[in-house]
Each structure stands twice: as structure tokens, then as C-alpha cells.
Chains A and B, each alone.
Chain A
Amino acid sequence: MTVLISAIHEWYCPACGATDQTKEVKPHTRFHVCPKLRFLTAPMLPRGTSAKVELNEREDYIGRELVQLDPEQGRPVMNMVTTRDEGTDCMVYAPTATARTS
């Protein structure tokens, strides 16, 4: 006999307040395009988790580097950090490597 497991996960975004549900059994994270984080794709957190999500701009000189820009202001972004009570998560926005010299 096969046992079918159904799990409903409740998610929320601490930045914009959006909520969502997923029914995935495997470990996963829900993402959404967040209007409070310059329309970048941001992680959602399990409902009830105390946390904050912050976007950090890239502060290095850009020059001709192909860095990632936020869709709202066109500013170079470095990472998005989620700070929870028991730890932190980090999404790093990596640039694109090119063959040309600086």
C-alpha cells in the first residue's frame, strides 16, 4: 500500500506582506517578485517565522562589468539577505564574466 503524503506550507513575505501556499512534499522555498524589494525575486518565509529581508547594493566600481541591476531603479545589486532568529540566508547576484580586459 502506498501512503500519499499531502503537506500544505504557508508562506509570507516580511517585506511586502504577500502570502502563498504550496503543497510540495520535498524541502523547498517559495519565491516571488517583491514590489518592496525593487521587483527582484525574493524568498518567502514559513508563516510564523520572525525575519527581515534586505537588499544590498553593490558598492564596488562597476566600469564595464556586466553586473546585475534591479528592475525598478536600475541600480547594481550585490545580494539579498534574510535574517532569521536562528540564522541568515544570502542570495548573491553574480555578474557575467567577459573576455575583454578592464
Chain B
Amino acid sequence: MAFGANSKIFSAFLHDALQRTGDADVDSATAKCALYSDTPTPNQLVTSANAAYGGGVWAANQITDTGGSAPTGWPTVGRPLAWGTATKITTYSTATIKYDSDDTASANSTTTLAATYGCLIYDDAATTPADQGFCFLSFGGPNSVTLGTFTVVYAAAGIMTITA
């Protein structure tokens, strides 16, 4: 099993949004970035429940801060996304819709994280299903810090993008 090289939007998230059967909201400020080891094998075509934080392959193998102020630096449930400068969602007037946030950094400079291979971006306030996942991002290999700062730098193309 391996996290793999792909970064995908969950089809169930798009389906639920179009059918209005879920209450995950990309426009809310309650999204989080949870880190994972190489053990989960993500699949973009799973059910909403299995795409949620705590469901399916996302139920275990989170990477948690074990450093000087553990687990504050990067808790098991992840770090919150923030929008100081980034635009959350681009306008409908272009064919490509982009969801973005500021880079997500550990809460302190004494964070220790071992072999992080990817992350799950999810809505921590969603209830139907609980903590529904938006997408997963593959980091392309093991990433670690020891008593330092861990930062996930999102691409200029955003965390996720959909082209109409």
C-alpha cells in the first residue's frame, strides 16, 4: 500500500455538492489539512463517508507532531487553512474554478513530523457526512522535520481546480 503520486478531488464531494445532499462548504473557514503516512491508498472514487476524515483509509495513519510542544505543532486532526492573502474561490467568470488558501504551517518552530507523504483537505464543520473530504494531495515522497517548522506550500494553481 502506498499513498501514490496522484492528487485528486473526491468525486463524491462534487456529486454531493451538485445534488445538495452534503453540507461541506468550501466557502467556510473550517477546512483543515491532515497529514498522512505512506500507508493509506487514496481513491478519488470512494463514497462520501470513505472520503471523510476518520472514514475509510483516512481513519488511521495520520502523522502527528511529536516535538517540543506535541501535538500542538500539527495535531492529528490537522492544521486549519487560513485566508490572509489567498483568494478562497475564484470567480465564475473564468472557465477554471480554483480553491486556494494561504500556505499551511505548523503552529510552532519545535514541531517534529516523521515521513509525511500526503494530506487530506476536509471540512471539519461538515456533518453530512461528518468531516467530508474535498481532496487529497500527494507530496511525492517522505517529508520530515525535527524540532522545526513544517510548511505545506500550495501551488499557484491552487489546492484544487476544476475546468468547466
Chain A residues within CB distance 8 Å of chain B: 27, 29, 56, 58-63, 65-68, 76, 78-79, 82, 84, 86-99, 101-102
A82 to B149, CA, bound (A): 10
A68 to B155, CA, bound (A): 6
Residue of B whose beta carbon sits closest to that of A58: B140
The answer to whether B159 and A92 have CB atoms under 8 Å apart is no
Tell me the minimal C-beta distance from B57 to chain A in angstroms.
Answer: 16
- 9-residue interface stretch from B3-11, B21-29, B48-56, B123-131: B3-11
The answer to whether B143 and A92 have CB atoms under 8 Å apart is yes
Query: What would 5 more interface pairs be, CB under 8 Å, given A68-B155, A88-B145, A97-B159?
Result: A86-B147, A95-B137, A98-B160, A99-B8, A99-B14
Interface status of B152 (Cβ within 8 A of chain A): yes
With A60-B138, A66-B7 known to touch, is A94 a contact of B145 (CB < 8 Å)?
A: no
Residue of B whose beta carbon sits closest to that of A102: B6
Residue of B whose beta carbon sits closest to that of A66: B157
The answer to whether B9 and A89 have CB atoms under 8 Å apart is no
Query: Which residues of chain A come closer than 8 Å to B61, judged between CB atoms?
Result: none
The answer to whether A87 and B5 have CB atoms under 8 Å apart is no
